[in-house]
Structure 1
Amino acid sequence: MKKRDLKMKKILSLVLSIVVVFALGGCGAKKEAVVTDKKIIKVGASPVPHKEILEVVKPLLAKEGYTLEIVEFTDYVIPNTALAEGQLDANFFQHVPYLETFSKEKGLDLTYTVKVHIEPMALYSSKYKTIADIKDGAEIVIPNDPTNGARALRVLEKAGLLKLKAGDLISKLDITENKKNLKITELEAPQLPRVLADLDAAVINANYAIEAKLNLGDALAVEAKDSPYANVLAVKTEDKEKPYIKALSEALTSPEVKKFIEDKYKGAVIPAF
């Protein structure tokens, strides 16, 4: 009888262990579901045009049961580190080459879901009205980050001011012809509009140009419309397929967003979808 009781106790103990394991497993699955289907989406963005575009997205996501929180950034570094550290669910401020270069240099596992718009860079000047007016030895300032610096140099090449080596990530060291002996200086992109009045000319990113009320029609040269530098929604690679990221991606490439970009920016920002 005792042996039988002992055997029954062991069986009951085993059954209880299995029940506990399944119960804990169920709790874990529940917890994971909450994370996967989160309803508050925190996105880092530059003020213009990214934050303005995201404001259009807010009501679209609200219809799907999501709340969009926009965190404003004015630099090109913190939004990616904040995303990688989990302080943000996504960010919207950069083009593909910058995202890929930054991620590689910093060892971050970031990717993107959709291409939203293109911001053509342009050459602005408060001293000259045309390319032909630019004097020998003039100083032209470009962004100091590698990808936007390379873009700026291509704008100058397209305008006939320089000739450059082939390649994507070029620098001023890759200038092969500079007939006007232009001085190419590098400066942080956000500062360019602020110091434009003191410069001969500067190649400025569209978001900062728009923010500074610079008119694209007054630019001396504009980046080609087939530019590969589309601005994207960046996310952690592990989050790419999550429902809330898919919902955000769909909203950012909706007809409502396309119409807003076309009506609001009139060519200064171009939809990429």
Structure 2
Amino acid sequence: MKKKIIAAIVAIAASIGLAACGSTSSSSERKYVVGVTSDQQKDIWEYVGKQVAKEGITIDVKLFSGYTEENPALVDGSLDLNSFQHVAFLNNFNAENKADLTYIGYTIISPFGLYSDKIKNYKDLKDGDTIAIPNDVTNGGRALQLLDAIGVIKLKADAPDSPTTKDIEKYIKKVKIEQLQADQIAPALQDVTAATINTNYVTDQLHTTPRKSAIYIDTDHIAKVSSIYKNVIAVRKADKNKEDFKKILKAYQTNAVAKMIKETNDIPAW
């Protein structure tokens, strides 16, 4: 009888040991979800995923249609990383949401262009015209800096890095500035005189490129573009020094990825 009891105890202990081993394996799974907002970035991240797979890291790329969900998803753990925003956008999100997201490195700086179905040259803008810009502070701020650069408005000397319409000192051309959600501007292009449109929506919604269709591109005058508009790989602050993320960043910041970026009309930012 004693031998049977001892054997049963040993069997139970063995099963617990096996279960514990299984649990350890599951908790150490090196799989990470990254959020992006364009098919082109999805292709790049899938390439990066193939490179880090050699080191036992799995990347699952999730495509979003706008700019509002990716950071909350990163905060709540639905995403492990995201790659869609520049520093200014990230800083603004943190300030408005009392969040502490950060970034592990730069990815691209995307051209930001002015587009029109009605005029061929930005110099043809005149009093009474309507110009659509993004309604979020950071992309809207970049749009206002663009309009300042081409002489449509004049921003105040002490305007912040991400100005708002309150920071306009003077309308050199008495235009109407209409603020729309970023992903709604391309579909509304025919309803306005001109519009500033983020490049991912130019490629995905208008099926063209800044070089082919923009009447002004701010990165052609890079000295007038603030470095806060460099895009980044964002993570939770607690994960900033994660070894796997260092490997992912290294796999992204390569000559091969730089070549892919240039083919998408963006500029490598590292």
SS in 2 for 1:94: coil
User: Hey, what does 1:51 align to over in structure 2?
Assistant: 42
Residue correspondences, number: 242
Q: Return the offset for 1:133.
A: 1.8
Letter in 2 for 1:62: A
User: Hey, what does 2:209 align to over in structure 1?
Assistant: 215
- State the alpha-carbon separation in 1 of the partners of residues 26 and 104 from structure 2: 22
- State the alpha-carbon separation in 2 of the partners of residues 123 and 48 from structure 1: 22
The answer to whether the 8 Å contact 1:48/1:210 transfers is no
* Residue deviations 1:200-241 (CA, integer Å, cap 9, x gap): 100011111121223313312111335311111000010111
* Residue deviations 1:119-144 (CA, integer Å, cap 9, x gap): 12110000000022223210001000
User: Hey, what does 1:137 align to over in structure 2?
Assistant: 128
The answer to whether the 8 Å contact 2:35/2:83 transfers is yes
The answer to whether the 8 Å contact 2:199/2:209 transfers is no
Choose which of 178, 196, 204 in structure 2 pairs with 1:203. Answer: 196
The answer to whether the 8 Å contact 2:126/2:174 transfers is no
Letter in 2 for 1:160: G
* Residue deviations 1:156-214 (CA, integer Å, cap 9, x gap): 11111111013212111221121321001100001111111221100011111121223
TM-score normalised by length of structure 1? 0.83
- State the alpha-carbon separation in 2 of the partners of residues 120 and 65 from structure 1: 35
The answer to whether the 8 Å contact 1:164/1:174 transfers is yes
- State the alpha-carbon separation in 1 of the partners of residues 94 and 67 from structure 2: 12
Letter in 2 for 1:167: P
The answer to whether the 8 Å contact 2:88/2:162 transfers is no
| Cα pair distance change 1:115/1:34, threshold 3 Å | farther
- State the alpha-carbon separation in 1 of the partners of residues 150 and 234 from structure 2: 32
| Cα pair distance change 1:97/1:183, threshold 3 Å | same
Q: Return the offset for 1:34.
A: 6.9
- State the alpha-carbon separation in 2 of the partners of residues 51 and 213 from structure 1: 16
Matches within 5 A, 1:104-115: 104-115=95-106
Post-superposition, which runs of at least 4 consecutive aligned residues in structure 1 deviate over 3 A?
none
The answer to whether the 8 Å contact 2:186/2:201 transfers is yes
- State the alpha-carbon separation in 1 of the partners of residues 97 and 29 from structure 2: 28
Larger radius of gyration: 1
Matches within 5 A, 1:1-273: 38-165=29-156, 166-211=159-204, 212-217=206-211, 218-223=213-218, 224-226=221-223, 227=225, 228=227, 229-262=229-262, 264-265=263-264, 268-273=265-270
Letter in 1 for 2:178: T
Letter in 2 for 1:173: K
Structure 1 gap ranges (5+): 1-26
Letter in 2 for 1:240: K
| Cα pair distance change 1:173/1:216, threshold 3 Å | same
SS in 2 for 1:185: strand
TM-score normalised by length of structure 2? 0.84
SS in 2 for 1:56: helix
Larger displacement relative to structure 2 (210-219 or 245-254): 210-219
User: Hey, what does 1:8 align to over in structure 2?
Assistant: none
Q: RMSD value over aligned CA atoms?
A: 2.0
Letter in 1 for 2:214: A
Identical pairs, percent: 39
Letter in 2 for 1:52: D
